[in-house]
Amino acid sequence: MALAEAGARGGLLRWPRVFLFGDSITEYSFQENGWGAYLAERLVRKCDVVNRGISGYNSRWAKLILPRLITESTSADSIVAVTIFFGANDSALKELNPKQHVPLEEYAANLKSMVQYLKSVEITADRIILITPPPLQESAWEKACLAKGDKLNRCNATTGQYAQACVQVARECGTDVLDLWTLMQKDQDFSSYLSDGLHLSAKGNSFLAAQLWSRLENKLSALPSLLPYWRDVDHTNPEASLL
């Protein structure tokens, strides 16, 4: 049987997708021991985990590019979960980092706009998870800023306001939310969750992965493995098992 004929007979194999949309904390999530890599490993042969993290971006820019990443014509129906993870850059202090800063009310409106857009392309609220920015460890981040010749350009209390706004948007829009800012600070010293005061350490990645998996497992664990286990393939007639 020619390969083209075999493909036509069996039909196109389409993996469902988990879509990760965010800033550098998402972009870096496929590094060794990253939270995105953890999800990809857990979901191998069930879902493709698509990393659309864009370092340095805020919700203002994200809102503009989301319709270029997901449209009805690019199989939005195959997306089984979307994470929206912005706020670490939006919450930068305006006077010290005006390029990335987004005012609090606009940040909330941008998140709401992104959720509404996803709903408009038939991605239902139960498939959307908002993630708040993690807490900021100011002394460590100040060292990172000083090393670049900058002043401390974020503070944890401000980040917390953005986290609260994210939680409120999720409540209003009926989506799930992972409140990292609050959860990580239940451990009195949360600095071990962060590599430089802002981005996640190996422990922080592991924490986020576990928290996110607890929200995704019920949605995704029932998805079938695509293609049969190799021992179940009829080696005398593989077409019967694979097409």
Q: Which residues are catalytic?
A: 24, 196, 199
Task: Pick the closest to residue 243 from 1, 7, 38, 33 (CA basis).
Answer: 7
Inter-residue contact 56 to 23 (CB < 8 Å) = yes
Token digits for 6? 């075999």
CA distances from 11 to 15, 198, 240, 243 (A): 13, 46, 14, 8
Instruction: Calculate ∠ Cα 166-223-11, nearest 5°.
Output: 115
Instruction: Calculate ∠ Cα 6-9-10, nearest 5°.
Output: 85
CA distances from 145 to 83, 148, 219 (A): 28, 5, 40
How far apart CA 41 and CA 221 sit, in angstroms, is 13
DSSP-derived 3-state class of residue 185: coil
Inter-residue contact 123 to 129 (CB < 8 Å) = no
> Which ranges constitute the DSSP H helices of 73-227?
104-120, 138-147, 156-173, 180-184, 202-220
